[in-house]
Each structure stands twice: as structure tokens, then as C-alpha cells.
Structure 1
Amino acid sequence: MATGSDFLLLDAADAPARGLADWLAARLRTALADGRLAPGERLPATRLLAAELGVSRGVVTEAYRRLAEEGHVTGRGRAGTVVVAVPARPGGAGSGGVGPGGVGPGGVRSGGAVVFPEVPGADVFDVLREAPARIDLSPGVPDLSAFPRAAWLRAERAVLAGLGAGDLGYGDPRGVPALRVAITRWLARTRGIVAEPGDVVVVTGVAQALALLAEVLRGDGFREIAVEDPGSLGVRQHLDHHGLATPPVPVDDLGLRVSELRADAVLVTPAHQFPTGVVLDAARRRELARWGGLVVEDDYDAEHRYDRPPVSAVRAALPDRVCYLGSVSKVLAPALRTGWMLVPERYREAAVAAKRFADLGSAALPQLVLAELMDSGELERHLRLLRRRHVRRRDAMTRAIAEHLPGARVHGVAAGLYLTVTFDGDVPDTALAAAALELGVKAQPLSWHAQRPTRPGLVLGYAANPATALAEGVAAIGKALRELG
């Protein structure tokens, strides 16, 4: 006869006669929230825990399944069921004390820092990442659980088998030749760009590309680069940090208002404008070509396209005027820190020199593995899998928005990894994001990404969460909005 389990001191005698799975799932959630179960810990095997508790194995399996759907645990084959995320912990009590995620005088706080200030500081994304949440709807992250581990390992073995001793030394700061060739082929197939391997500089993501480009442009006399408004706060922060002012240019339903450009350079996201999701209109593209200044094209997630025809990169039509930036962060994983930059010929030597003195070149082995994935077709197969999964999750989020946020306007559904929703009324979106975080849901306020006044809204990533978590997260946002209203 079972007497209970040493694991969390569980005793099925404490459970109601019916609802054993509900009881067990609730006990596990409590242990996750209060820190008794931490990320990386392995749960007992279902058969073992069921025997210890004197319940059917189906009870334990169902409880684990619910936690997996909520994003707290994941099954890892022979490694068992492992904790991957914990719910937000409640705020502390006392005279003004605030715990992680709690509300204090300055809004929601995490580790002593305000998570949703009206004016975001340089560390705002670091603070937001560290804030605990049960459901993370931050934009710009693909389904990292779908990372093609088996294909990566096969490619890595193939690369290592053919690697000579000389390949392990210092190399070309532009990147290994094999990857630069593979990138030109990839861009020709998917973005309509015709380029030579010598045009490509491999970088550690778009962030480094912006840093190198800022150095090059400052050396050529540039003091500012216009940006879309609304547009990526992160991009703006990088350019500001590296000495370039970022005057705003409005965006409407046709994309950037080129007629309002007053700078000599502009950064655009023409294939899928962040955060509105609009595509730069053909007439606006022609207007941009006639404008005559330098264009920086951030092609950050053009591969993720669902309900509309493809559009070519601006670089394809204006190679002498466009600095083109791309990466695999949205296709594979941000942790790979691998991207590329194509610059007009007049800036190429300076860009290579900036890369050389930054780090002597990116790590060679990941470059060679990525080249193998591109050349073998594995990357395209992975992208097709992601598109199918992302469409299902996007549809789940739009259904949840229709149900729980009936007055919201939805933007950018045809492509990308996120949706933007805007609201009528005067509720500050920073307050809404803070209230949602109190309910365990993390999202970014639209106002963070705007330099001029804009309608309140949220930018909601859907790619990294299962449908059940998306529905629950949007429901929590709806509840927060009603409470604030």
C-alpha cells in the first residue's frame, strides 16, 4: 500500500476523490512557483510516481501533459520530463516591499528595476527578459523547441570529418568562403538578390552589423540615420549607442512615408515593417529609389510569410545604394549569433576593416555547419516546418483576440512571428503590459517602439508558444484591460 512520495512530499490521501489529475497538476504548479522545482530539474518517471502515490499512471501522465501545454515542462525522451519555465512569483508583502513581478510605486518591478517605464532605458529589454512570467509573448522569437538538432549534428559531423588542421586557424574577417557562397545562393533563391561572395561580411547578428555600419558611416561624415516610426526600439538603441541620431519618419498602411525623409540615410524594414507588419508599397519603393540617399535594409524575418505573395528585397533593385542586413536568429535561433551584411562597394573595405578590428572574424565552425545546412536543403525544410507551425499558432492567437479583445485592431497577420494589437481609449499600454505581467503574461507595449504619440497597443509574439498558452495569455490581457478600463 502506497504511503506517499518523497517527491514534494505528495500524498494522494490529500486529494479529492475525483480530480486526481487536477490536484497533482496544481501541486506541481505550486512547487514551480515557490521555487521547489527549478528549470533544469527532472520530474519522476510517470510509472514511478504513479506507483508511489497509488494512482493510475494516466493521472500522472495527464498532469504532466497539462504542464507541458502551459510551457512549464518538456519531454526529452530518455532524459524524462524536465522543467523549462516557472510561473511568475507573487509580489512581496510589507511596507512598500516588492518581490519579482510585484507592483510598486514605479509600476511592475523585477529585481528592483521597473519593468515597464514610460520612457524605456538602455537596459529595458534585459529587465523584461529577467522578469518571471508564466507565458512569454515577447515578439521576435521563433519556436526554439523546433531547432533542428539532428540536422545540425549531422552537418557538424560532416564538417568535422572534412576539416583540416589549417581550417582551425585565423581566417578571413569577412567569414569562411563556404558560408559566404551559401549565403549568396540563399539570398538569390529567397530574396531575389544577386551578389558575389566577396560582397558578404559574416557578422554575429544584426546587432553587430549595426555597430560596424555606424562606425563606417560616421567615418564618412554621417551623423544621423532616419528610422521608421513606429519602429524597433532595439535598433534605435543600437544606433544611438554608436553615435548616430535617429530622427523618426512616419509609417502608414503603405509603409514608410518617403516624402517626409529629411536625412541622407534611412533604415527600413520593407518586407515586414516592425511593428505594424505592413509591406512597403511598390510606389513607395520607386519613390525611395528616386530619393537618392543611403538605405539600410533590415530584412529581419522576411522568410516567415504565410498569406501573401513574396516581395523581393530592396537591395535586389538598388545594390549600389543599399546596405542589406540579415541573420538566422528568426529561422534557427538567436543564440547562434550568426548573420550577414552586404554593403555598397564604396563602403566594403571600411566594413571589412571594422569587422577585422572588432573580433578578427566570427567563429568558423558554426559558419561551416550553417553552410552545410543551407547547401543540403535542410534549412529550407526546417523553414517549411516552422511556417506550418507558426500559421497554426497565429490562427490560435487571432481567435483568442477576437474572443477576449473584441475591440482591438490586429495588424501584421500575413507574415512574421508576432501580431500588433491596438486599442481605442486612453489606457497607457505600459500600464496594460504591467497589469498583464501581474497575471503572469509578458508582452511589449507598442509605445516603446514609437518616438511620436501613437495609439495604445501591444506587440505579441506567437511563434514560441503552443495554442493553449496563447489563448490563456490573450485571455489574461483581456482581463487586465477590463480591470484598467
Structure 2
Amino acid sequence: MSLMAFDQTARGSELLLAMDPASGTPLHTQLERALREAIRSGRFTDGTRLPASRILATELGCSRWVVVEAYQQLAAEGFLRTRAGGGTTVITPQAERGDAPAVAPATAAVPLPADFEPGLPDLAAFPRSTWLRALQHTVRNLPPHHLDYGADAGVPQLRHVLAEHLARTRGVRTDTDGVIVSAGVTHGLTLLCEVLREEGHRQVAVEDPGWPRLGLAVRRAGLEPVQVPVDDEGLVVDALERTTARAVLVSPAHQFPAGVVLSPTRRTALLAWAAACDGVILEDDYDAEYRYDRRPVAALQPQAPDRVAYLGTVSKTLGPGVRLGWLVPPPALLSGVLRLRECGDPVPATVDQLALAHLIESGTLDRHLRRTRVDYLARLTALRTALAEYLPDARIQGVDAGLHLTVHLPDDTDESALLKEAREHGVQITGLSQYSSRPPARPGLIIGYGKARPRQIAPGIAALAAAYATVRGTRP
């Protein structure tokens, strides 16, 4: 299976380079070793172009210095050729080409059949050309006054476009003045939590299992996160009512990681809870754009705009590196959020805000979503097929939506041992316990398919099944 793109340029998402920030080995050294071994093993053939250092650094989540240092070292060793304007290309050493006896490396890194890390879209699918055109259009038509510090709530043009876009796609009830531009859901959540603390709140209920960074954001804002369980119908409102929290963070359209939708009965109960305790619902609508079996359920905010603070982002549609999101607070919290902005909370860059407004107004974002929905549905279908073939013991939880699947395994499966064995088989994957505050009722895996290339999914699940068979003491 070739890991090269058709034009013989290796895409960063296909390099499958294993790096561990917690290992104690400098990241540039890890990258040098991984690239060196990939060249020696023949994964990267002579003349293959590697991604630009800035692009590869973004996709690996490291600084550009790490990539530049690794490229320079390998160029000095004769593995790479770097030319101004010509990119970085692989030079297979003479020994590896068979002209001289090859010296086997001391250790051989296991290539990853697939990276199933959840929480990320296909970063290589970012619409570079359309984003560039949007930036060019913005800069060409930018009045000079737009280069000042700007409005505390964000650029009015983007807020106006977002108000219309959210009303059309999610049913959100707001106007331009009700939308605040943020750097993403976590940023918006932090602003809301700081205002809630000023209003006398001491706790925020969060879903369990859930995305750990959201609970950390609640704690950094000076509030206590209170774990509330999630089942097949979403947040267990009965358990929420037994807490003393008067604010709750919930993802009704597609819960992470369980993948379930908040049922109509639970939605009604949650709104009743908020009315009864004078509470606030923080709605995390992080990936509602991706529902494959039907139209996504409407946002919760339209049913109680005075009780629900709506949060959204382009992190799953474009990429987290764009750093743009929005929040629609209830009227009672709006002025408090704006006060924080006056105290120096940063507003995302004006040019980027206007570029996003242009993408939405021109219909470019909608076209991008239509293309990526087709792509992600194909990956989801391939994943379901591979699970049915190689891991028939797995039970899928949740709906066909988002960029991940949650699967549960037999109760006697050792989840931690499976994760370790999967890594030995070259599979990057996470377990349900990594997102839970207490041991989950059933062992499970969170399988992200946003990063994995379609042709890598079946081999990756086959390797996972081999790891599962090893842990269970059975034959694959």
C-alpha cells in the first residue's frame, strides 16, 4: 500500500510519523529518526517531495523549528535535498538502493496502518485555494478603518453573516448584536464561565464521559466541574437535578464521545430544570454540520434563548488552526461577556473574520461542507464494514454523525492492555476510559475517522483486531 499522493508529494496526514511528546526524547530527534527509518525502509522512495515545514508542523502539532531542524539534519546526512523554491525531496542513499551492502538500523519503528485519533477533521482537506482567495478578496477590499482594534464583539459583517447562517442551518434565534466572535468553543466557554462566576455560580455540570479540555476550561475560570452521566439518551437529567449546579454544559446534537443525541424527553426535562432553578444551559454545537443518516436535530437554543448560551466553531469543518468560533449568550449574560472583552480578552484577527464572512456569504463554506460530508460518509461506511468483518464483538453506540465512532467491547476486555497492544501493532487509538471521570460501565474505544485515509481504515481495523485477539488470547 503506497503512502504517497498521486503526484509523488507526501501529504502530511499520510506520513504516519509516530511522535510522543511525553517520551523525554526531543521532538526533532524523534522526527529525524522516524523520517530516516521511513526512507531506509522504502516507504519514501527516491525523489518523493515532503510537505513544507510549516504545513508538516501544523499537522504534527509541533513548532516549525522541530521540522526545520529535522530536515536540516537529514539533509546533512544525505537523506534529503532542500532547494529554494523546489521544496524538500527524498534522496535514497546508495546503500539503500542496492549499490552497496545495506546496514540494518539498530531499531525499526513500526509504521502506523492508520491513525484513529478522534477530535480532528481531515486537515489535508482544508480548502487552501478558496481560503487564499477569500483572504485576497478581503485585503483588496479592506477599508483602512478595519485595521484598528475593532469591535469588542467581533467584526459586524461576520456577526451579521453568522446570525443569518445559524438561523438557516441550526434555527438559532439571534441578531447581529447577539453574536460574539470567539477563538473557538473552549474560548467561548471560558468567557461564559467567568461571567457566571461573577454572577454567583460556583459549579458547572459537565457530561461524563466528555471532552476533558472543557472541564479544564471550567476549572480555569474558577468554577467546579460536576460530572453528570450520559447514557443512550444523552445527559441524565435526573442526575443533574440531584446536583447543586445551576449551569450545565451539554452537546445535544451529538455528544462526545458517546455519539448519542439528546432525546426529545431529555430536552424537555433539561429546559424544565433550567426554568425551575433559574439555571443556564451552555450548548456545545461542535459538529452538527456532519449528520449522515438524516438532517441534524435543531439546536436547543431556539426553544429557550433566554436560558441557553449557544457555542459553535469551524474547528471540525475547516480546522482548529483557523481559531474561529462564536457564542450567542442569553441577553442577561451578553453585557458581562462584552465587559471581559473591554478588559483585554483578545478578539480573533479582523482579516480572518472577514475571510470567513466571505466564505459563508459566497456559498463556498456550504460547498466545502457538501464535499466533506460525502468524503466522511465514505470513511464511516468503510469503518463500519471493517468493524463488522474484523471486530464482530464490537457494539457501536450512537448515530451516524460527526467524525468518530464509539464502540463497546465485551465486559471482560482489558481496555488498557488493548490500547497498549494496539500501539505495538502500529494503531493509534484511544479508549473510553480516557474521557471518563470514573471507570466506564463497559470497556470501549473511540475511533476517529477524520484523519485516517479511506484506504487505511480496513488495514488499521485488521491490525486492531489482531491486537484484540492477542489481548483476549484468541486467534484473529
Does TM-score exceed 0.5, indicating one fold? yes
Aligned ranges for residues 211-290 of structure 1 at < 5 Å?
A: 211-261=190-240, 262=243, 263-290=245-272
Within 5 Å, which residues of 2 pair with 1:280-319?
Answer: 280-292=262-274, 293-319=279-305
CA RMSD of aligned residues (A): 2.7
- Equivalent-residue separation in structure 2 for 1:465 and 1:80 (angstroms): 25
Q: How does 1:114-125 map to 2 (within 5 A)?
A: none
Residue in structure 1 matched with residue 451 of structure 2 by the alignment: 464
Shift of 1:429: 2.1
Quote the residue 2:159 is aligned against. 180
Describe the shift of the 1:100–1:345 C-alpha distance in structure 2 as closer, same or farther (beyond 3 A).
farther
2:286 and 2:89 map into 1 onto residues whose CA distance is 32
- In 2, Cα distance between equivalents of 1:239 and 1:441: 32
SS at 1:198's partner residue?
helix
Identity of aligned residues (%): 44
Q: From the superposition, tell whether residues 377 and 436 of structure 1 become closer, same or farther in structure 2 (CA, over 3 Å).
A: same
Q: After superposition, give the CA deviation of every residue in 1:33-80 in whole Å (9 maximum; x if it has no partner).
A: 626589xx995169xxxxxxxxxxxxxxxxxxxxxxxxxxxxxxx978
* Secondary structure in structure 2 of the residue aligned to 1:34: helix
**For the Cα contact (< 8 Å) 1:42–1:80, is it kept in 2?**
no
Distance (Å, rounded) in 1 between the aligned partners of 2:335 and 2:106: 56
Residue 414 (str. 1) matches residue 395 (str. 2): no
Aligned to 1:66: none
Q: Distance in 2 between matches of 1:283 and 1:31?
A: 51
Equivalent-residue separation in structure 2 for 1:35 and 1:100 (angstroms) = 8
In structure 2, distance between residues paired with 1:82 and 1:188: 48
Q: Give the AA of the match of 2:37.
A: D
User: Equivalents in 1 of 2:426, 2:172: separation in Å?
Assistant: 43
Q: Tell me which residue corresponds to 1:482.
A: 469
Q: TM-score, normalised to structure 1's length?
A: 0.74
Distance in 2 (alpha carbons) for counterparts of 1:333 and 1:43:
32
1:265-414 paired onto structure 2 within 5 Å: 265-292=247-274, 293-414=279-400
Larger mean Cα displacement after TM superposition, 297-306 or 232-241: 232-241
How far did 1:435 drift? 1.8
Instruction: Name the residue aligned to 2:47.
Output: 44
Alpha-carbon separation, structure 1, partners of 2:388 and 2:36: 30
Q: SS at the partner of 1:310?
A: coil
- Matches of 1:135 and 1:356 in 2, distance apart? 46
For the residue of structure 1 that corresponds to 2:203, the secondary structure is coil
Alpha-carbon distance in structure 2 between the residues aligned to 1:413 and 1:80? 43
Q: Secondary structure at the match of 1:167?
A: helix
Q: Which amino acid aligns with 2:220?
A: H
Could you tell me which residue of structure 1 aligns to residue 460 of structure 2? 473
- 8 A Cα contact 1:394 1:463, kept in partner: no
Change (3 A) 1:427 1:82: farther
- Residue 122 of structure 1: aligned partner: none
Q: Deviations over 1:285-337 (max 9, x none)?
A: 11111112210000010000100232110011110001111000000011001
Amino acid aligned to 1:354: L
Amino acid at match of 1:476: A
**Structure 2 Cα separation of the partners of residues 356 and 460 of structure 1:** 41
Q: Specify the SS of the correspondent of 1:290.
A: helix
Instruction: Report how far residue 136 of structure 1 moved.
Output: 1.6
Distance (whole Å) between structure 1 residues aligned to residue 325 and residue 420 of structure 2: 33
Say if 1:37 and 1:165 are closer, same or farther in 2 by CA, change over 3 A.
Answer: farther
Aligned counterparts, 1:105-184, within 5 A:
133=112, 135-184=114-163
Deviation at 1:481, TM superposition (A): 1.3
Task: Tell me, in whole angstroms, the C-alpha distance in 1 between the residues paired with 2:88 and 2:172.
Answer: 45
Structure 2 gap ranges (5+)? 1-32, 50-84, 91-104
Report the Cα offset of residue 179 of structure 1: 0.7
Would the aligned equivalents of 1:42 and 1:81 in 2 still touch at CA under 8 Å?
no
Change (3 A) 1:460 1:204: same
* Alignment partner of 2:37 out of 34, 38, 63: 34
Alpha-carbon distance change, 267 to 388 in structure 1, aligned in 2, over 3 angstroms: same
- Structure 2 Cα separation of the partners of residues 212 and 339 of structure 1: 13
How many residues in Structure 1 have an aligned counterpart in Structure 2?
381
Residues in 1 aligned to 2:346 and 2:316: alpha-carbon distance in whole angstroms: 25
Contact 1:394–1:413 under 8 Å retained in 2: no
**CA-CA distance at 1:413 after TM superposition:** 4.2
Alpha-carbon spacing, 1:44–1:426, altered in 2? closer, same or farther (3 Å): same
1:341 counterpart SS class: strand
Runs of 4+ in 1 over 6 A off after TM superposition: 78-83
Opposite residue 223 of structure 2, the aligned amino acid is: L
Q: Is the Cα–Cα contact under 8 Å of residues 154 and 348 in structure 2 kept in the other structure?
A: yes
Are residues 393 and 179 of structure 1, via their aligned partners in 2, closer, same or farther at CA, if it must alter by over 3 Å?
same
TM-score for both structures, normalised by structure 2: 0.75
User: 1:431 deviation in Å?
Assistant: 2.6
1:104 matched residue in structure 2: none
Distance 1:418 1:174, change over 3 A: same
